[in-house]
Amino acid sequence: MQSWIWAIPQPEGGKPCAHYSHGKVRIEAYEIKEDAPLTVTRPDDIILNIGRRSLKRLDGYRCLPNVIRTPLLDEPLSGIVSRFAGADVQYLPATVEARDGVTTRYRLARPLVHLPCLDPDRSDVSWVVPGESVAMARHIEFRPGCLGDRHFVRDSYTHFTVVSEALKDALLETRDPGLFFIEPENYYPIPF
Question: What's the pLDDT tens digit per position in 17-55?
Answer: 999 998 888 988 888 988 877 888 889 999 999 988 999
Whole-number pLDDT of residue 191: 46
Whole-number pLDDT of residue 103: 96
- Mean pLDDT for 132-158 is 92
CB-count burial class (<10 Å; 0-12, 13-18, 19+) for 122:
middle
**What is the amino acid identity at position 123?**
S
Higher pLDDT, 170 or 133: 170
Residue 12 has pLDDT above 60, yes or no: no
CA angle 128, 131, 134 (to 5 degrees): 40
Whole-number pLDDT of residue 36: 78
The band of 187, judged by pLDDT with boundaries at 50, 70 and 90, is confident
Average pLDDT, the chain: 91
Whole-number pLDDT of residue 41: 82
The band of 61, judged by pLDDT with boundaries at 50, 70 and 90, is very high
Residue 159 has pLDDT above 70, yes or no: yes
Residue 192 has pLDDT above 60, yes or no: no
The band of 11, judged by pLDDT with boundaries at 50, 70 and 90, is low
Provide the greatest CA pair distance for the chain.
49
The band of 188, judged by pLDDT with boundaries at 50, 70 and 90, is low
